Amino acid sequence: MKSENLKRHLRSTLEFAGFTVPAVIVIFAFVELPFLMSVLYSFTKWNGLDKVPVFIGFANYMEIFTNDPNMMQALGFTLLFTVFMVFFTNVIAMLLAVALDSKVRGKNVLRAAFYVPNIISMIIIGYIWRFIFSKGFDSFYALTKIPAFQLSWLGDAKLSFVSVVIVSVWQAIGFYMVIYIAGLQTVPKDIIEAAMIDGARSSTRFFRITMPLILPSITVCLFYSLSSALKTFDVIFSLTFGGPGTATTSIALDIYKTAFSDSRFGYGSAKSVLLFFLILLVTVFQLSLFKKREVEA
Amino acid sequence: MKRSLAWGALSVALFLVAIIYLYPLILVVINSLKTFTEIMTDVTALPTAPDFQNFVNAFRLLEYPSLCLNTLIATAIGTIGVVLLSSMAGYRLSRTKTRASWFVFIICVAPMMIPFQSFMIALVKIAKILHLTGSVYGLGVIYWGLGVPLSLFMYHGFVKSVPTELDDCARIDGCSPLRAFFQVIFPLLQPVTMSVIVINAMWMWNDFLLPLLVLSGEKKAMTLQLAAYNFFGQYKIEWNYAMAGVLLTVTPAIIFYIALQKHIIKGMTAGAVKA
Amino acid sequence: MKRKMLAVVCLVFSALLLFAQTSKPVVNKNPVTLKLMFFSPELTDQYNDMAATYKAETGNTLDITVLQADYVTVLRAKLNSGDIPDVFMSSAYADNDTYKDYCYDLTNEDFMKQLEPTSMTGVTVNGRVIGYPFLVQSHSFIYNKKVFADAGITVLPRTLAEYDAVCKKLKAKGIQPFATGFKEWWVLPQTAWQVMAPIKDSFGGDYAKFVDQLNAGTVKFSTLKEMNTVFDVLDLIKNNGGPKPMESDFNDQCSMLASGKVAMIHQGNWAEDTIRKTNPTIDIGYLLGPVSGPADKAGIMFDSNQTIRIAKDSKNLKAALDWLRWLTTSDYGKNWIPGKILQLSPIKGAKASKAELAQATMDLLAKKTPNYSWYYQRFPTGTEQGLGIILQGYCAGMTNRQDTLKALDSSYKKIVDASK
């Protein structure tokens, strides 16, 4: 009897392993192992080229906290960027989703239209928008004489922040819109209709009834948008390269510059370890907050 | 009557917004049909006579067919692998309610928070050791590791909506667990599989930094994005060539999206939302 | 439905395969294929032309990867992972140290004697030659001769005050004096450090001494009086650089100068090709850049910086050296830089390039006009971008002069410490 139990236990363990080990192996080999190697490098002084890195303990981490204005600037930028990015992306995507989940004509075409920027590579997005901001805006100004087109959207420290947010939001909206549409489709229509009959105003209907029902979508969208905004790299890399000066340098870009242009690979690794913990902290906090709400709702 | 008028107005308004939204891309189309001098004088004007020479040149210079095939190979290998690995693991992890299972789940999804830039150099080192550099096949394999976490997360959530009775049915039939999974469960996961395919395929098709690091830039192992990037570098000032190049690289992705659009929303409904 | 889609996919796939097959080149019987990693993508056609000729003459294949902004990243990832190209490029001077573990010592190679000794300074460390100077280049202010003539400017400016006067004259005629190039982090240091070039006179005419003291911290940017002129020149360019001075990039500089919309840009002779793409018949020349010192010190920057390195661990070491020998001694190789790339060659007795800026450089050198080496390449690797970004912040009005100087010092110190 006991051996029978053991056998069953063994079989289910084997089955569990058979299903999960392949995934664990590839994730470990291509993400976690290299990341652990970076963690090791973070305790060294290494330019990424010399054959032997020099172990220096926590000196890199000390430097980040005591003597790195660039990193602090990048941190400030990234947090502010994240706030704007998460807010605008989710609000606009939700509004579009509500509009495109209705009886509006041609909604399939419209859904595709808003999704298109999301399927274009970042390299090309950056290239297109550089073209718009330089050549395009010159032509718009000549055409309309609206002074806004003559402002330096990529050259002014404050405006370049706005530009980076605009392009990032523009690119991301489609993806989140689809998730919200998906969420709205799970909302039973009879509940809404019942509320309509009760004479609830449309805004009340939305906030009181629809919102709680699509809370799972909101949780997921916030999670995706938070983690991708904190990691933001591509748009900035190809649009402003963090400039002018360091005005639009995100943490990920700062890490890239530290490792590759300053040749401080060990130091860059230390920064990336901290970025990982920052993202972990923020997203876990957000998830636990919303999971609790979901249960209550 | 009044109501349908309101819907019509909303529809018109949304189409206008969509046009403004896509105006940057419309400009790309317009300018890809212009000559160099026309681009330099006015970007917004329509081309006097549409000139397809830019496309002919970009098609030739990008070596479009062979690079398209390369990108397709890497994307296909990557996507298929991600779907198989993450559906299997996501299913099992969702069904097994033990502490070990929870731990493995965390191990599998935590990498979503690791920024790619922070481990890419070491990744190249590992790829080299495993002989995965310099070929699009190797690139596809590396994508497995990078793509599984998010996809597994999506499968993990979706599996909850599949009744557990089905597992038992399959087992009673006496199939091997793997066969039972692929014959009974996997087809039921189709909606989320569609989303996983679209998300991964789009990302791999458009990815730039990893191919840049892993493929040594040889023509025989180059992806469209890399070629487009080099193309921008080489024809810095010839915006008209570059715009045609942009359209050539983007079109396959757009076609792919439109073909699968219907399934994507279904998959999201079921997948991401319940995660 | 599904079957239809499958059929379409198969069709597309096989069509692509067919296309891919037909576009493949003839199979080479000779096994030697060299892997090369180059930058300067604008020279891609010339690189390919050279590779094609080399293949026709010797049967060996050159597999050249050409990259731009990401060059350093990719090179590092490759060197680091052991996926080492047989031949790669880098800068001279400080990069000698950065890539010291990977460069083959060329000192005793016969063909190196064919190169001008003056071009070897940047690749020589303790008497050993560890790189091959690829191009000789010059940079300073480039001007559109017709625009100057139309504005009635006959005496070319040399000092800050003269440049200022020229700007006023141009503006009075409604012409924007400069396209800044300030969006590119590499244009700013080139512009700025040229102003400081005569500083070597305070160090016995030796830049190495200046940089040694800078590295040791005994000389700082914040105490160099020359920095004031540097800021003055940057301000002048910015204030006369149109409504969006911080958005001007290399392309913008070239096309604006070519179309006569601006009169001057700070660039090098490599820009000529791009300028002529917009205006093939343009007449351009060099102006002497204003410096922190007497007017007769104004000059141009002239050096060989772009360097070809042979990887010392290459399996094809001999083949790589053979290629370099061919590049130096064959008829095609000798003509490649002056005849095809249209720049200046470091090979002794090379033909003069027929490019206007290359000729202008040779004329200025012949007239004994001051010319300075690219001494800022002696600053540790990484400072070019690091300091460039700080100067960009200054130009964008994010930091004042004092803070900029502080930032320059602290960024420089960090990179020096890291490279020790």
Distance CA C77, CA A268 (A): 14
What average pLDDT does range C370-399 have in this prediction?
A: 93
- CB pair distance less than 8 Å for C396 and A133: no
Chains meeting B at 3+ CB pairs closer than 8 A?
A, C
Instruction: Assess whether pLDDT exceeds 70 at residue C2.
Output: no
**What does the block give as tokens for C381?**
């690797």
CA-CA distance, A239 to C108, in Å (whole number)?
46
- Are B101 and B194 in a shared domain? yes
In chain B, positions 48-87, which contact chain A (CB-CB < 8 Å)?
81, 85-86
Please give the full DSSP string across B144-185, using - where no structure is assigned. Answer: HHHHHHHHHHHHHHHHTTS-THHHHHHHHTT--HHHHIIIII
| A47 vs C contacts (CB less than 8 Å) | 98, 418-419
Q: What is the pLDDT of residue A55?
A: 94
Tell me, what amino acid is at C253?
Answer: Q
The neighbour count for residue C155, using CB atoms within 10 Å, is 8
For C34, nearest residue in chain B (alpha carbons)? B218
- Decide: helix, strand or coil at residue A124: helix
* C54: nearest Cα among C324, C302, C239: C324
In chain A, residues with a C-beta closer than 8 Å to the C-beta of B11 are 104-106
A8 against C340, higher pLDDT: C340
Residue B151, number of CB atoms within 10 A of its CB: 27
b (16+ CB within 10 A) / e for C197-222: bbbbeeeeeebeebbeebbeeebbbe
Per-residue pLDDT at C17: 52
Environment class of C331 (CB within 10 Å of its CB; exposed 0-12, middle 13-18, buried 19+) = exposed
| More confident site: C393 or B47 | C393
Residue with tokens 């002779």: C269
Q: Is the pLDDT of residue B233 over 80?
A: no
Give the burial class of A101: count Cβ atoms within 10 A of its Cβ; 0-12 exposed, 13-18 middle, 19 or more buried: buried
pLDDT at position B58 = 87
Interface of A with B in 213-242 (CB under 8 A): 216-217, 220, 227, 231, 233-234
Q: Domain ends where: B15, B30, B55?
A: B55
Q: What is the pLDDT at residue B137?
A: 95
- All structural domains of chain A with their residue ranges: 70-296
Q: Quote the pLDDT of residue C14.
A: 54
| Range of B2-16, B114-128, C16-30, C94-108 with top mean pLDDT | C94-108
Q: Find the helix or strand (DSSP H, E) in which C358 lies.
A: helix C356-366
Q: Are residues B262 and B126 both part of a single domain?
A: yes
Mutation target among B3, B132, B196, B273 for the A interface, most CBs of A within 10 A:
B273
Kindly state whether residues B112 and B238 are assigned to the same domain. yes
Residue C343 identity: Q
Confidence check: pLDDT of C212 > 70: yes
Does position C329 have pLDDT exceeding 90, yes or no? yes
Q: Is pLDDT at C147 greater than 90 in this prediction?
A: yes
The token duo for C16 is: 């692509």
Per DSSP, what are the bridge partners of residue C179? C265
How many other CB atoms are there within 10 angstroms of residue A211's CB atom?
Answer: 14
User: Per-residue pLDDT averaged across C3-21, rounded?
Assistant: 52
Q: How many Cβ contacts (< 8 angstroms) between chains A and B?
A: 257
Domain co-membership, B18 together with B147: no
The domain A70-296 is classified under which CATH number: 3.30.420.10, 3.40.980.10, 3.90.1150.10, 1.10.3720.10?
1.10.3720.10
What are the residues of chain C with a beta carbon less than 8 Å away from any beta carbon of chain B? 5, 13, 15-17, 19-20, 23-24, 35, 37, 41-42, 44-45, 63, 65-68, 70, 73-74, 76-78, 80-83, 85, 250-251, 254-255, 259, 274, 277-278
From CA C269, how far away is CA C267, in angstroms rounded? 7
Structure tokens at B89: 């693991």
- Spatial CB neighbours of A42, under 8 Å, sequence gap ≥ 6: A60, A61, A266, A267, A269, A270, A272, A273
Residue B245: pLDDT over 60: yes
Residue A198: C-alpha distances to residues A66, A191, A208, C399 (Å): 61, 11, 13, 61
pLDDT at C21: 46
C342: left (phi over 0), alpha (psi -120 to 50) or beta: left
pLDDT on residue A2 = 64
CB contact, 8 Å: C252 with chain A? yes
Query: What is the mean pLDDT of the segment spanning B204-224?
Result: 83
Other beta carbons within 10 Å of C277: 18
- Which residues of chain A does B71 touch, with a Cβ-Cβ cutoff of 8 Å? none
Residue among A237, A229, A272 at smallest CA distance from A253: A237
State the Cα–Cα distance between residues B58 and B49, nearest whole angstrom: 19
Domain shared by B228 and B171, yes or no: yes
Residues B42 and B73 in one domain: no
Handedness of CA C195, C201, C207, C211 (dihedral sign): negative
What are the φ and ψ backbone dihedral angles of C62, each rounded to 5 degrees? -110, 120
Kindly report which listed range (B212-221, C45-54, C245-254, C304-313) carries the lowest average pLDDT score: B212-221
One domain, residues B27 and B113:
no
Residue B145: which residues within 8 A CB-CB, separation 6 or more?
A26, A27, A28, A29, A30, A31
Distance of CA B26 to the CA centre of its chain: 22
Q: Which two tokens stand for residue C420?
A: 């020790």
Indicate if the alpha-carbon torsion angle C356, C361, C366, C367 is positive or negative: positive
Same domain, B169 and B103: yes
pLDDT tens-digit series, residues A136-146: 898 899 888 99
> So what's the pLDDT on residue A263?
83
Quote the pLDDT of residue C8: 53
Read off the pLDDT of each residue in C285-291 and give the average, rounded to a whole number: 96
Other C-beta atoms within 10 Å of A108: how many?
Answer: 12
**CA proximity to B56, closest of B33, B24, B38, B30:** B33
Alpha-carbon gap, residue C71 to A261, rounded angstroms? 11
pLDDT value for A161 = 96
- CA C81, C85, C90, C92 dihedral sign is positive
Nearest to A280 by CA among A243, A207, A226, A236: A226
Residue window 89-148, chain A: list those with CB within 8 Å of chain B.
Answer: 99-100, 102-106, 108, 110-124, 127-129, 131-132, 135-136, 138-140, 142-143
Kindly identify which residue of chain A lies nearest to residue B28, measuring between CA atoms. Answer: A128
Work out the mean pLDDT of chain B and round it to a whole number: 86
C103-140 pLDDT per residue, tens: 999 999 999 999 999 899 999 999 999 999 999 999 99
Distance from CA of C368 to the nearest CA of B (A): 35
pLDDT digits (tens, 9 = 90+) for A69-94: 899 999 999 999 999 999 999 999 99
- Whichever domain contains B126, its CATH number is 1.10.3720.10
CA distance A244 to chain C (A): 6
Q: How many domains in chain B? A: 2
CB C252 within 8 A of CB C176: no
**Contact by Cβ (8 Å): B215, B136:** yes
Tokens (6 digits) for C75: 């090179």
Range of lowest pLDDT (A182-196, B54-68, B91-105, B140-154): A182-196
The tokens for A297 are: 């709702």
What does the pLDDT average to over B116-133? 88
pLDDT at residue B269, as a whole number: 59
Tell me which DSSP letter residue A136 carries.
I
The amino acid present at C163, given as its one-letter code, is Y
Cβ of residue A34 closer than 8 Å to a chain C Cβ: no
Q: Which residue has better confidence, C222 or C351?
A: C222
Report CB contact under 8 Å: B11, A32. no
> How would you label B62-86 residue by residue, b for 16+ Cβ within 10 Å and e otherwise?
bbbbbbbbbbbbbbbbbbebbbbbb
The two three-digit tokens of residue C204, written as one number: 């016995």
The bridge status of strand C33-38 relative to strand C87-90 is parallel
Which residues in chain C have Cβ-Cβ distances shorter than 8 Å to B213? 73-74, 77
Q: Average pLDDT, stretch C385-409?
A: 95
Query: Binning pLDDT at 50, 70 and 90, where does residue C364 land?
Result: very high
- Which parts of chain A have pLDDT scores under 50? 297
Whole-number average pLDDT of chain C: 90
- The predicted model gives C2-18 an average pLDDT of 53
With 0-12 CB in 10 A as exposed, 13-18 as middle and 19+ as buried, what is B229? buried
Q: Residue B272 pLDDT > 50, yes or no?
A: no
Distance CA B3, CA C297 (A): 80
Asked if residue B197 and residue B157 are part of one domain, the reply reads yes
pLDDT at residue number A200: 73
Q: Which domain holds residue B81?
A: 57-274
What does the pLDDT read at residue C170?
A: 96
Domains of chain C: 27-136+304-348 (3.40.190.10), 138-303+362-419 (3.40.190.10)
The SS3 of residue C215 is helix
Rounded Cα distance between A196 and C130, Å, is 81
pLDDT of residue C24: 41
Whether C349 shows a pLDDT value over 60: the answer reads yes
More confident residue, B271 or A87: A87
Are B144 and B260 members of one domain?
yes
Do residues B48 and B87 share a domain? no
Angle subtended at Cα A257 by Cα C399 and Cα C412, rounded to the nearest 5 degrees: 55
Average pLDDT over residues C219-228: 95
Distances (CA, A) of B36 to A142, B44, B229, C248, C293: 19, 14, 20, 20, 44
* pLDDT score, position B170: 66
The answer to whether residue B107 scores a pLDDT higher than 70 is yes
Q: Measured between alpha carbons, how far is C63 from C32 in angstroms, rounded to an integer?
A: 10
Whether residue C241 contacts residue C178, with contact meaning beta carbons closer than 8 Å, is answered with yes
- For residues C156 and C327, is the Cβ–Cβ distance under 8 A? no
Residue with tokens 């031949």: C87
- Say what the pLDDT of residue B273 is: 46
pLDDT at C26: 43
Q: Say if residues C114 and C253 touch (Cβ distance below 8 Å).
A: no
pTM of the model: 0.89
Question: What is the model's pLDDT at position A131?
Answer: 84
**Residue corresponding to tokens 């502080």:** C406
